[in-house]
Structure 1
Amino acid sequence: MKYFAFEGVDTLGKSTQIEILKLDFFNKPEKEFYKDCIFVKEPGFSELGSKIREIILNEKMSKKAELFLFLADRAQLFSEIDFKNNFIISDRSLLSHLAYANDENFDDLLKFNLYATNNILPNFVVFFKGSEKLISSRLLNKNLDEIEKRGIEYFLKIQDNYEKIFKKLNLNILEINADDSISNINKKIKEYINDICN
């Protein structure tokens, strides 16, 4: 199983890097394994998930309701895609859920998420880490969804949560400095993937 999760708080460039990889993998594959890659995202990959994503990003709701909507999206994704026998690159994963739901009991939340994913965790993680200045400037320059409206202090807390979770779960992490250039970040990610997949 090669399951790569791209993680980090909003605005740090995860989706941009995934779009670049899609162009590389599908239009000018440098490696034979590139053509076998499946790109997914959470929330919103499945038809049901796209509806759930719209609700999560645009409706005000209780934290518990939000938690179960994320789990529903994740369960549907894992029912449609065979993560165990494919090369997967995912824009977010259950790690986002564990980091963002920071006031929930970690062990219970992990148990719920593993139930949704058939006990599958990402085995490789590309973690985008940003400075307070970078995150603040990018939040100021976009129309904010309901999660982004929680502000900079919330995002810095989530970023800290990620690092604690990685240690607890002993995951293979590539940490990316989100302040770096797009081209440098792309180079580091491709080197990481190539080293693992070759």
Structure 2
Amino acid sequence: MTGRFITLEGGDGAGKTTQAERLSAWLGEHGRTVVRTREPGGTDLGVRIREIVLHERGHVAPRAEALLYAADRAHHVETVVRPAVARGDVVLQDRYIDSSVAYQGVARGLGADDVRAVSDWATGGLVPDLTVLLDLDVLVGRARVAAARGDTFDRLESEAAAFHESVRRAFLDMAAAEPERFLVVDASMPADVVQQAVRAAVGPLVGIDQA
């Protein structure tokens, strides 16, 4: 079988983990081997980088933050993603380059083109076969995170609402620029409805006939 690389993007609380879990189970029921992973944190090295970029108590300079994400991505793609795709597996990944472009490139003001160029170099130009963008109102997403974890927010989740609005707009702008790669789903819909929309796009990509 042909390997596939599918990423899930969106703001905090959009339901990426829930949708990835459901999609993974569905793919498994149809005989596909699935590798579920995330950035940062999909490798042992990535776990350590994740602790720095999301939970470091002190200040992390924006360019350092962007480069740490790129370093994680370079190692992750070489050791996890590319080997899995080469085996014919389906990789389902929570966040990828688009997150760096949105968070560091746009919201941090480092420049979308510059941040994308660094990550493109780090990954050897690996582009997802499909990117599912779960779009959700910022305040709704924040309320979901608070309901699930109380007031425990990581460094990025703790940023002001305006920061996250910039992230949301950046994701939507990327989706509009690359409609052939992106599937934009209204994440305010019930989880089952969202999942059906995701499966409708993923099925043909991985050879699953839903008729």
Same fold (TM over 0.5): yes
Distance 2:64 2:139 in 1: 32
Residues 1:89 and 2:98 are matched in the alignment: no
Match in the other structure for 2:122 = 116
Residues 1:43 and 2:49 are matched in the alignment: no
2:137 counterpart letter in structure 1: S
Check whether the contact 1:123–1:171 (CA below 8 A) recurs between aligned residues. Answer: no
For residues 30-179 of structure 1, what are the structure 2 equivalents within 5 Å?
Answer: 31-32=30-31, 34=32, 36-59=33-56, 60-83=59-82, 85=86, 86=88, 87-101=90-104, 102=106, 103-141=109-147, 142=150, 143-169=152-178, 171-179=180-188
Could you tell me which runs of 5 or more consecutive residues in structure 2 were left unpaired when the two chains were aligned.
Answer: none
Could you tell me which runs of 5 or more consecutive residues in structure 1 were left unpaired when the two chains were aligned.
Answer: none
> Which secondary structure does the structure 2 equivalent of 1:150 belong to?
coil
1:50 counterpart letter in structure 2: V
Spell out, residue by residue over 1:98-147, the C-alpha distance to the aligned partner (whole angstroms, 9 max, x if none).
11111112222221101111111112111011124412422443311111
Check whether the contact 1:39–1:90 (CA below 8 A) recurs between aligned residues. Answer: yes
Distance 2:179 2:139 in 1: 29
Distance 2:93 2:40 in 1: 10
What is the deviation of 1:165? 2.2
Change (3 A) 1:182 1:97: same
Distance 2:162 2:129 in 1: 29
Distance 1:170 1:179 in 2: 21
What is the deviation of 1:20? 2.1
> Which secondary structure does the structure 1 equivalent of 2:42 belong to?
coil
Give the % identical residues. Answer: 22
Count of residues in Structure 1 that have an aligned counterpart in Structure 2: 193
Q: Using structure 2 for the length normalisation, give the TM-score.
A: 0.83
Distance 1:171 1:197 in 2: 16
Spell out, residue by residue over 1:68-91, the C-alpha distance to the aligned partner (whole angstroms, 9 max, x if none).
110110011012025353422111
What is the deviation of 1:149? 0.6
2:17 counterpart letter in structure 1: S
Q: Using structure 1 for the length normalisation, give the TM-score.
A: 0.89
